[in-house]
Amino acid sequence: MTVLGATGSIGQSTLDLIARAPEAYDVVALTGGRNVEQLAKDAIALNADIAVTCFDGCFDALSALLAGTGIEVAAGDAAVIEAAGRPADWTMSAIIGAAGLPPGLRAMENGGTLALANKESLVTAGPLLLATAKAHGATILPVDSEHSAVFQALVGEDLAAVERVIITASGGAFRDWPIEELANATLEQASSHPNWDMGQRITIDSASMFNKAMELIETKEFFGVAPSMIETIIHPESMIHAMVGFTDGALMAHVGPPDMRHAIGYALHWPERGHVPVERLDLAQLGQLTFRAPDDARYPALALARRVMEQGGLSGAVFNAAKERALDGFIDGRIGFVTMASVVERVMDNMSSDISPQNATLTLEDIEQADHLARVRADECMAQ
């Protein structure tokens, strides 16, 4: 097996599960970024064949840490892709951002299973990802908690009997703030999630609901359901991860504590169920679960997701790249919290004529070009 993005939040949760039964897994490659200490430590503990940092400048530090271990060391984007292409029966795709797409595509060329946490792959390149899996006989298993929940609710079901898919949302850090205060939200406030312990970028995306917006697109792309059948609802306790409604009126809910090791463990043991050490829910103690409708004015990202689902083509790549740059801008203190959505909207407006129709077969090159241009446009927009 291989773990792409091994040093991140999902990567570390994945390694936590693997480390409980190391004899069961043959670790081929682990990849990471600047945290070479963690990467080296895990590569040694799990006896990986190769450890790769995506930063050329981190090569020497990683090499020094792994000297004498016999573990191969490499650095740079191309090295991450090369390592992803080494034969492995199971690959965790847990790099953050559009950078996760090329290594995930490469991993599928060997067949095997791609456990997909990197939602940006589906948002930017859903049809290409699914076509690549089909061409090489690879299996994609969703690792986003909501999509793992939908996937599990669909086991043994006929997609034709699905009426709706409900993706729950915690509502993020600012769900109870007065709307007019959102403009003053600080980086620190946006970086703290009420329920989930995740990487900083996805935590901020949860506060703005860009994360949920991406998950709506992810649902359409992965399960092939019509956008009109996909809903979201605010569920502050984050215990129900998703629900699937069927033609007979049944609503199947997936309930569990907010711990990504459940979705990761499901993908790790699939098609069986393994033993996963997540907390068991005490429903009596929980007492109640609550729900409320999402407020479009508070979460403009949701309308942008609807637009992407209708437009298809390169709109997902443009939306995601503009969002990534706007998020960089917020993290760097160049723009405020609410400006992120307006940057994305303006870039999508500006590039609407570059977004080809739904049915065009898009290549990785088309997607990377649109991604690049959208980043340039987003930077221009933020410089104004």
Q: Which residues bind ligand NAD (CB under 6 A)?
A: 5-11, 32-33, 54, 80, 94-97, 99-100, 117-120, 144, 196, 198-199, 201-202, 260
Neighbours of 264 (CB within 10 A): 28
Indicate the residue whose CB is closest to ligand NAD.
8
Compute the least distance from the CB of residue 109 to Mg ion, in Å: 27
Alpha carbon of 265 to those of 18, 176, 261: distances in Å? 9, 33, 6
82: exposed, middle or buried (C-beta count within 10 Å: 0-12, 13-18, 19+)?
middle
Of 111 and 199, nearer to ligand NAD (C-beta) is 199
Token digits of residue 198: 């995740």
| By the rule CB under 5 A, 218 interacts with Mg ion | no
Q: How far is the CB of 104 from Mg ion (least distance, A)?
A: 17
- The answer to whether residue 324 forms part of the interface with Mg ion (CB under 5 A) is no
Smallest distance, Å, CB 272 to Mg ion?
Answer: 23
Min dist. Cβ of residue 172 to ligand NAD (A): 13
Measured between alpha carbons, how far is 258 from 248 in angstroms, rounded to an integer?
29
Q: Decide: 314 and 370 in contact? Cβ < 8 Å.
A: yes
Q: Does 371 bind Mg ion (CB under 5 A)?
A: no
Q: Binding residue for Mg ion (CB under 5 A) from 42, 144, 221, 324?
A: 144
Decide if 48 contacts 29 (C-beta within 8 A). Answer: yes
**Least distance in angstroms from the C-beta of 106 to ligand NAD:** 13
The CB-nearest residue to Mg ion is 144
Shortest spacing between CB 163 and Mg ion, in angstroms: 22
Q: Using the Cα atoms of residue 127, residue 13, residue 31 and residue 50 in order, give the sign of their dihedral.
A: negative
**Residue 17 binding partner per list Mg ion, ligand NAD, none, with a CB distance cut-off of 5 to 8 Å that depends on partner kind:** none
Residue 80's binding partner among ligand NAD, Mg ion, none (Cβ under 5 to 8 angstroms by kind) is ligand NAD
CA dist., res. 224 & res. 217, Å (int):
10
Which residues are CB-neighbours of 324 under 8 A, at least 6 positions away?
97, 98, 375
Pick the stretch among 135-143, 146-154, 293-301, 355-363 that binds Mg ion (CB under 5 A). 146-154
